[in-house]
Chains A and B, each alone.
Chain A
Amino acid sequence: MSMNASGRADSHAGTDAGQPGFSTIDELLAAVERQLSMAADERALILEELRGHLEEAATAREAAGQDRAAAEREAVAAFGAAGAVAARLNRAHPVHWGTARMLRGTLAGILIPYAVWTLVTFPLLVYNYAHLTTQERASQPISLWGMAFDALPLAFGAFRVLFSGAGLVWLAAFLALSLAVPFAWGRRSRQSWRPGLAYGLGLLVGFWWLLPGILIRRDDFEQAQFVLSAAAVWALAPLAVAASFAGARLHLPARLSAAFQSPRPSTRSSTTRRLPAARALTVGVAVILLGANVWAGTRAAELARAEVLPPVSEQLARAQAIAAFPLRLPSALPDRLTLTSVELVPGATARPWVALQYESADGVWLTLSETNAQPADDSLPIAPNYRVSQGTVGGAQPVWWLYTRKITARETILMWQQDGLYFTLASDGPFSVDELKQVAASV
């Protein structure tokens, strides 16, 4: 434990080198205070001790005949550079990232990215939905809570946003807000990697399901995009360590460095009563996020109220008006099923799918989708995730296949092409493949 008594600032302290000297005790203490990183109560005691020293030194000089201003100026000058004193005090009072703090950091690493994910996704989901055409919205009725649920990480709604025009906004907001936390922790604790490690571990624990999600739902998304998205989220773990390291080690200009300190009322200087820039930024971002989510909630409720579906016959007529091909309806349907809605589902091309939804009173459903645009992925699904068969529908020798998704083992989908149109017939109901083939043949 050696001490450099010369009072030189070290490179990490956010020193005030090059700044004009302080002339009053309040100014000096405010500068020291801005650069201290320990807990607020500990900081207050330290500042009280330093103030006592400076006041006594100034009073002694005053007693020797100096006026108060000169006495304070000399006491401050004899005290040394604020940055150097603060840096040494920070080293003497390290914020210890022990087991308990690491566990709390890990928990925060789970919860904060989940919250950020949801709060960023919800307004963008609603924004995207609000910018669909009236017809498209009418064919995809939403509810406020359904949209809010979609915004949760496990509901994968963010991936719809990510691959839309608002994808970059989502990505930038999620990365910046998620990484701001380990950066600030590193900055305030002067601990290079531990805060980021705890946060990154939490992130990996919170998003462990991304890879299984890719495997299970790879038929719902472009796989390469999905893998890239998962990689981007998982990359946040090492990035959190890097952010923490940067926060601890990055030499920021004194004003910016001070922005990462908390406001504390322990000194009498009026300058310290101002809200630090980082805190103001946090409040500003929180207000924007909250405002965006309030807007989204209000807008989603409005849209949901406005989208009471018209009668099925009208839905069918609207869909027919948009589709550039004659819609085909099955003539042979299992008992109990009736047409309940007609939806226009955006596809990979400008031409949408038309989805005819048949439902029974007890919740069994069957969906016939048709389009005249070649689907983006019309290749045969890959075993062993799918049970693939080939055969004919209606004796017209089309190629068709059926498969069972692992995520919903009972769901069966038939896909075929006929007369330049592409069809899928899907159901998770208790229908045999032969029954579905009969429905397909009757289209």
Chain B
Amino acid sequence: MQEMKKGSLELLVLHLLYERPSYGYEICERLRERSDGTLRFEEGAVYPLLHTLEREGLAEGYWEGSAPSPTSGTVATSAGEEADTTRKGPRRRYYRLTPAGVEALRAAVQEWRRFTGAVGRVLGEAARGEASLRGEVA
């Protein structure tokens, strides 16, 4: 499972940001909740990834929090949800996908589906082989 998680964090984070703008801690929580605790990353690994996405132009970071900003309020997301960015307390750095990020997500999803499809086909053949073997034994 550990090896399978390698490389998948980028895809997952891109997808979560596609759903709505989010900040690091929230991304970690959403990952944990949505995977029922199966996907658990060292939380610190999210920030270098977010910063790299931002440096490559795939995501855009902005601060929200104690200091009101022109963009504060609710943000309509690509998935039709709303992110509440009006809050008190320490400010948070939110990230949202750029058009280039959406394209990167699309490509990453296709790649992932090719990969999982190939793995599935192999496992399917293996399952059929196992069933066949069990039948012969019976």
Contact = CB atoms under 8 A, between A and B. Distances in A.
A119 interface: no
Given A1-B10, A5-B8, A6-B42, A52 B47 contact: no
A79 B51 contact: no
Given A6-B2, A6-B5, A50 B91 contact: no
Interface stretch (A53-61, A65-73, A285-293, A388-396): A53-61
A89 B47 contact: yes
Given A49-B24, A92-B52, A7 B47 contact: no
B11 to A, nearest CB: 10
A59 to B, nearest CB: 10
Contacts of A88: 45, 47-49
For chain A, give the interface size range: 20 to 34
B92 A52 contact: yes
Pick the most buried of A52, A80, A84, A91: most chain B CB atoms within 10 A of its CB: A52
Nearest to A8: B42
A92 B51 contact: yes
Interface in B24-56: 24-25, 28, 41-45, 47-49, 51-52, 55-56
A419 B124 CA distance: 111
15 contacts: A1-B56, A5-B41, A6-B42, A7-B41, A7-B44, A50-B44, A50-B47, A52-B92, A52-B93, A57-B25, A84-B42, A84-B44, A85-B44, A88-B45, A92-B49
Given A56-B25, A92-B55, A5 B42 contact: yes
A93 interface: yes
Interface string A1-43: 1111111000000000000000000000000000000000000
Given A53-B24, A57-B25, A2 B7 contact: yes
Which 9 A-B pairs give the minimum distances between C-beta atoms? A80-B42, A7-B42, A88-B48, A85-B44, A80-B44, A92-B51, A5-B9, A2-B7, A79-B44
A401 B134 CA distance: 111
Given A80-B44, A85-B45, A3 B10 contact: yes
Contacts of A7: 41-42, 44-45
Given A5-B41, A84-B42, A89-B51, 9 more contacts: A3-B10, A7-B41, A7-B42, A48-B90, A80-B43, A85-B48, A88-B47, A91-B52, A92-B48
A1 B6 contact: no
Contacts of B93: 45, 49, 52
B34 to A, nearest CB: 15
Overall SS of chain A's interface = helix
A78 interface: yes
B90 A52 contact: yes
B12 to A, nearest CB: 9
Nearest to B5: A5
A93 to B, nearest CB: 6
B3 to A, nearest CB: 9
Contacts of A46: 47, 51
For chain B, give the interface size range: 20 to 34
Interface in A72-101: 78-82, 84-85, 88-89, 91-93
A93 B48 CA distance: 9
A88 B50 CA distance: 11
Given A46-B47, A80-B44, A89-B48, A3 B25 contact: no
Given A1-B56, A2-B7, A52-B25, A80 B91 contact: no
B53 to A, nearest CB: 8
Contact of B48 (A48, A81, A91): A91
Contact of A5 (B6, B23, B52, B92): B6
A6 B93 CA distance: 23
Contact of B45 (A3, A45, A52, A57): A3
A440 to B, nearest CB: 78
B55 to A, nearest CB: 6
A121 to B, nearest CB: 46
A8 to B, nearest CB: 9
Interface in B88-133: 90-93
Contacts of A82: 44
Contacts of B28: 53
